[in-house]
Amino acid sequence: MEVAVNLELKTLNVKQDITYYNTSNDTLVSIVLNDWNNAFSDKNTPLARRFSDEFYRGFHLAKAAERGNTTILSLADSNFMALEWERTDKNPDFIVVRLNQKLRPGEKIDLHISYISKIPSDKFTHYGFNENGMILKNWFLTPARFENHRFEKYNNFNLDDIANATSDFEVEIKIPNNYAISTDLDSVSKDISNSDYSSYFFSGNNRIDFNLIIEKQKNFKSYDNGIVEVLSDLKNKKISEVQKAIIIDRVAMFANNFIGSYPHKKITVSQADYERNPFYGLNQLPSFISPFSDEFMFEVTFFKTYLNNYLKNTLRLDPRKDNWVYDGIQIYAMMKYMEENHLDEKMLGRLSKMKLFKSYNITNLTFNEQYSYYYMLMARKNLDQPLGDPKNTLIKFNEQIASKYRAGLSLSYLDDYLNHNIVPESVKQFYNLNKSQQTNRYDFEKILTENSPKNIDWFFKTIIDSREIIDYKFTHVSRTADSVQFSIKNKTNIYAPIPVYGIKKNEVVFKEWIEPKNPDSVYHFDRKNADKLVINYDNEVPEFNQRNNWKSLKSLVITNRPIKFNFAKDLEDPYYNQILYIPTLTYNYYDGITPGIRFHNKTILDKPFTFDINPAYSIKAGTISGSSAFSLNQFYRNSTLYNVRYSISQNYFHYAPDATYLRLNPMVQLRIREENFRDNRKQLILFRQVIVNREASTFITDNSKPNYSVFDARYVNTKTELVNHFNFMTDLQFSGGFGKASAEVEYRRLFENNRKLNLRLFAGSFIYNTTNSDYFSFGLDKPTDYLFDYNILGRSETTGLFSQQFVNSEGGFKSKLDPSFANQWMTTLNGSYALWDWVEVYGDVGFLKNKHQSIYFGYDSGVRLNLVPDYFELYFPIYSNNGWEISQPKYSEKIRFVITLAPKALVTLFTRKWF
C-alpha cells in the first residue's frame, strides 16, 4: 500500500496492490474484500442498526463529516483490465470482486486498487480521527477469510471480529513532518527528503491486521523488554515510567511463558483498546475512590489489553464464530496470573480490610471469584447464552462481560478437574499450531481431547455449546468418627463433574472430584475430622445455586441458616439468610415527605423468591404508611415463555388529605421473548385482581364506592430501539359495576434528519357500566388511576400545581377540556414532532361519548419540552377547544409536567443497552 494522509480532510488516499494466492482446493470465480471502514457511511448500515439496537445516539445524531466511507476509484487485475465489483446497500462493509478468469488451486492473481478512505470520528468506537490525529483500525481493503469452500462475509458490528485472511504487508505512508507515527508493523526506513512531509516504510509478515496511530503530540512510548517491543499510551500519571516498565516486563514474560512466544517484533497497547474492552468493575469507579493501588490498576488494565491484542494478532481463528476460544484463553490466563502474582487480592481491594465492610460477603471474595458472579448475574436473569454462539448474536452484557468471564471460568474448571497441567499445555500447543496454519475452535477441542486422560465430551456439549445450568445438592448424609457417606441429587439432570470438600474450622481437609452419572450413587470418603461437607466450596464449577451445597457433620438435623443483616446491597451468601435494609424517602402531596426503612432479600444475584417490606412514616399526615411485595419467579430456559412471576403487593398511603387507601394486588405475569436474544421485542401477559379499600373523604364527592375489586387482564407487545419504538397493549377489566376493554398503539420514529415523530392511538369502550360516577370512566386529560398504578403526586387534586401532573394514559390530552371523562367510549390520537433536539410541537384529537350526550370532538396543541422521554417533560398548551390558551389568564396553571422520581424506574434508562 502507498498511503497519503490528509489530516485536514480526515482521509487516506490509497494505492494498493494485492497478490492473492489461492491456497484452498476450490476454484475461485470471485474474491471478497473486507471494507469495514465503509460501515460508517450512513445511518442505515448494519453497524448503524447495531448502534440503534443498543440505544447509542451518537452515530445517528452525528454530522456527515464525522462519519466514514470508502470511495473506490479503480480496481483492475494483473493485466490492468478493469474488474467488476459489487457492494450492496445491505452489505456495505465488504465488496465482491468478480475475476475475469477462474483462479485455480495453487494459482495467484494481482489486484490493483485505488481508493480514498474517509476516516470516521473516534467518538463512535474509540478508533478514528480526533484532535490529536488518527487511531487507525480496519481502514483498508483486505481479502476475507476463506474457509469451508466460501469467503466469510461479515458485517462490521463494532465487535473487533473482522475475519481477514493472513497476509504479508508492505506499507508506505506519507504524513506531515509535525506528526509522529506508531505501529506494530516492522520499521523498514524513513524518507524525509520533503520539507513538509515524511514517508515511512513498514512491513509485516503472517499478520491478520495491524494498527497505525498518527499523532501531533506523541503519547505512545516504547518499552523494549527483550521479548517484544511494547508501544503504549495507557493513561496512569500516578506511577513512574520505571514502575510501568517493571509491570510491562512481568506481563510480557508471563504471556511468553504461559501462552507462547509472540511471533512479531512489536505490539501496541493503546488507551483506545482498553476503553473498548475495559475491566468491568475497575472502570466503574473514579480514580480518587478506587480501592486498588495505582500500580495494580495499571497492571490489570495493561495485562487485559495486552492479552487481548496478543491473541487477536496471533490466533488464526474465525474471531466471530470461534470467539469463546479467544475469551477463554484470555480470562484463564488472567486468572493464572492473579494466582501467581496477587493471590490474596480481593474483589474490592482495600475495602475488604475496612471494619465497616467486614460483614459483607462481597468483600470476602478474591479477585478471581468475581468472574463467576458476573456470569451468574445473567444466568439468574435467564439471559445467559451458549459460549459457542457467534459473537454477533450475543447481547451486549454477555459479549463484553458474562460470556467472556464464563469462557475463562470453564477452562479453569476443566483444568482443575483434569489436574494434570493438561489445559495449560494444550493452550501452548494450540498457540503454536496457529503459527503455521489457519485454525478453528475444533482444532483446540481436538488438542484438549487428545491430551486428556478422561472423556471430556461433556465439556464441549454442555459447557460450551449449551446454556444448560449445573446445580447439585446433598440428599442423604451420614457419618462416623472416621468416614462420611452421602448421595447427591442432580437438580438439572445435566452431567458435569463436581468437587466435594471436607471442611474443618474453615480449613479444607479433603477435596474429591465426583462424577454423579447415576442418580442413586452413594459416595464414601475418609472424614479426616471434617465438621462440614461442601459441594463446590471454591466455586470451580459455574453452579447455579450454592445455597444448597453444604451439610453440617456436627448435627445431621436440618437447621435453619442464621439471619444476617446488611446495609444496602450485598452478594448472595450461601451460609446465611440475608436481610438487607436501607433508608427510603418518598413523597406525595398528602403524606408529605415520608421516610421509611426497606427490608428485603434482593441481593445482587436474582433469587426465585424475594420479599420487599417498606414501612414508613408520613410526616404530614402523622400516620404509619408503607408498602410490601412478595414474588416467586419461575424461569424456563428452553422456551420463548422464559419467565412466569407470581406476586402479591400491598400499598398503604393517603389518596386525599383526610383519607388513606389500602391496595392489594395479587398478580401473575408471563414474559415472552424472541429466540434471538438480541431481538428487542418483548411480550407480557398479565392477570391480576386489584382490591382497593378506601377511607371515606370529605374532599371526594364523586359518588364512587370507596371499596372495590377489579380483575385486569393485559397483553403488551413492545419492540424498542433508538430509531424505532413500537408498543401495542390491550386491556380487559371486569368489576361489579363495570366491564371495559381498551387498546393502545404507540409508535416513535427518529428520522435521518434527526427529527422525531411520536404517535399514540388509544381506543376504549365500556362493555357494561352501572356505576353512578366518573371514577371508573376513561379520562381525556388525566386518568383517575383507580388501580393505583401510577406515581401521582396529588391524585385527588383538581386545581393547583399537583393537578398539572401529566400521565400519558387513556386520552393523553394535555389541555383540560370539558367533558374530561367518557363513560361509554373514547378514541384519541396523540402526536408530536421534534423541531429541534428536545423541543417538539404536539397535537391531540379525539372523540368521546357519554350516556345521554352527543359525541364530543376534542382537540388541543402546544409545545413539548421532551428533556428525558417518559421521565421529565413539560407541555405548554397553545390552542384547543378552549381557544388560544396562551393568551388566557392563569396560563401557568395550564402547563403540564411529567416527572419520574423512582430510582428503580430511572435505572432502566441506563441499563437497557446492556440487556
10-residue mean pLDDT series, the chain (915 residues): 96 97 96 97 95 91 94 94 95 96 96 97 96 95 96 96 96 94 93 86 95 94 93 90 95 96 96 91 62 90 96 96 96 95 86 79 85 90 94 94 94 92 96 95 96 94 93 88 88 90 90 83 89 88 84 71 84 84 93 95 90 96 95 93 96 94 97 93 97 91 88 97 94 96 96 90 97 94 94 90 93 95 97 91 97 96 87 93 94 92 61 62
The total number of residues written for the chain in this structure: 915
Q: In a 3-state reduction of DSSP, which class is residue 780?
A: coil
User: Cell match 387507601: residue?
Assistant: 661
Pair 85, 96: CB distance under 8 Å? yes
Query: In whole angstroms, how far apart are CA 676 and each of 462, 655, 669?
Result: 20, 44, 21
Alpha-carbon Rg for the chain in angstroms: 32
Task: Give the separation between CA 816 and CA 806, rounded to whole angstroms.
Answer: 11
Task: Give the separation between CA 25 and CA 651, rounded to whole angstroms.
Answer: 72
Q: In a 3-state reduction of DSSP, which class is residue 829?
A: strand
Helix or strand holding residue 883 (H, E): strand 883-884
Pair 832, 855: CB distance under 8 Å? no
Pair 569, 580: CB distance under 8 Å? yes
User: For the purposes of burial, counting CB atoms within 10 Å of the CB of 590, is it exposed (0-12), middle (13-18) or buried (19 or more)?
Assistant: buried
Q: What is the largest CA-CA distance in the chain?
A: 96
Query: In whole angstroms, how far apart are CA 848 and each of 117, 373, 859, 861?
Result: 59, 54, 11, 18
Task: Give the separation between CA 375 and CA 378, rounded to whole angstroms.
Answer: 6
C-alpha cell at 570: 450485598
Helix or strand holding residue 864 (H, E): strand 856-868
pLDDT of residue 712: 98
pLDDT of residue 864: 95
User: For the purposes of burial, counting CB atoms within 10 Å of the CB of 409, is it exposed (0-12), middle (13-18) or buried (19 or more)?
Assistant: buried
Helix or strand holding residue 599 (H, E): strand 592-600
pLDDT of residue 138: 94
C-alpha cell at 278: 475495559
pLDDT in tens, 358-402: 788 888 888 888 898 889 989 999 999 999 999 999 999 999 999
Pair 263, 435: CB distance under 8 Å? yes
Strand partners, 651: 627, 663
Written as one string, the DSSP assignment of 169-225 is EEEEEEEETT-EEEESSEEEEEE--SSSEEEEEEEEEEES---EEEESS---EEEE-
pLDDT of residue 9: 96
Pair 392, 161: CB distance under 8 Å? yes
* C-beta atoms surrounding 703 within 10 Å: 10
pLDDT of residue 849: 96
pLDDT of residue 282: 63
Query: In whole angstroms, how far apart are CA 569 and each of 370, 381, 499, 581?
Result: 16, 18, 30, 8
Beta-strand pair 856-868/872-880 = antiparallel
End-to-end CA distance of the chain: 42
Task: Give the separation between CA 9 and CA 485, rounded to whole angstroms.
Answer: 76
Beta-strand pair 659-673/681-694 = antiparallel
pLDDT in tens, 219-253: 999 999 889 999 999 988 889 999 999 999 999 99
pLDDT of residue 569: 83
Written as one string, the DSSP assignment of 697-764 is -TT--S---SEEEEEEEEEEEEEE-SSEEEEEEEEEEE-SSEEEEEEEEEEEEE-TTS-EEEEEEEEE
How remote is the C-alpha of 408 from its chain's centroid? 19
Amino acid at 67: R
Pair 261, 319: CB distance under 8 Å? no
CA atoms within 13 A on the CB side of 501: 17
User: Cell match 377489579: residue?
Assistant: 710
